[in-house]
Amino acid sequence: NAGQSSPPSSFSVSSRTPASQVRRVPSRSPQECRGQSSPPSSFSVSSRTPKPVKSAEFLLGLLKNAEANADTKGLDTSNLIVKHIQVNQAPKQRRRTYRAHNL
């Protein structure tokens, strides 16, 4: 099909380490408590940028789980293709101030 790329021949879920493979992503959150890291050259952002290691580890675990499920079903794990990935924004959490109510 047009628009679909072939999977890399040497890709293995177990051979990837997220901390070293993840590229930095610019964010617009406050810059407090961030390390001194330079921005990536692929983005035109002049701020400190963190690596989304937790997100990468979660996605890597999801891919490992899908590979294990395919192996359990007896499918060929070398021909697996990820067709669709969707991420939804988390719901807003309510904050509550714990204090006396002056009764």
Which helix (H) or strand (E) element contains residue 19? helix 18-21
How far apart are alpha carbons 52 and 23 in whole angstroms?
Answer: 8
Q: Measured between alpha carbons, how far apart are the two ends of the chain, in Å? A: 70
Whether pLDDT at 33 is above 90: no
Give CA separation, 28 vs 18, 45, 101, in Å: 22, 10, 37
pLDDT at 15: 54
How far apart are alpha carbons 101 and 103 in whole angstroms?
Answer: 6
pLDDT at 26: 63
The residue ranges of every structural domain in the chain are 17-26+33-72
Q: Over the stretch 42-98, which tens digit does the pLDDT of each residue have?
A: 655 545 666 777 888 888 888 899 999 999 999 998 888 989 888 788 888 888 778
Q: Do 63 and 13 meet the contact criterion of CB atoms below 8 Å apart? A: yes
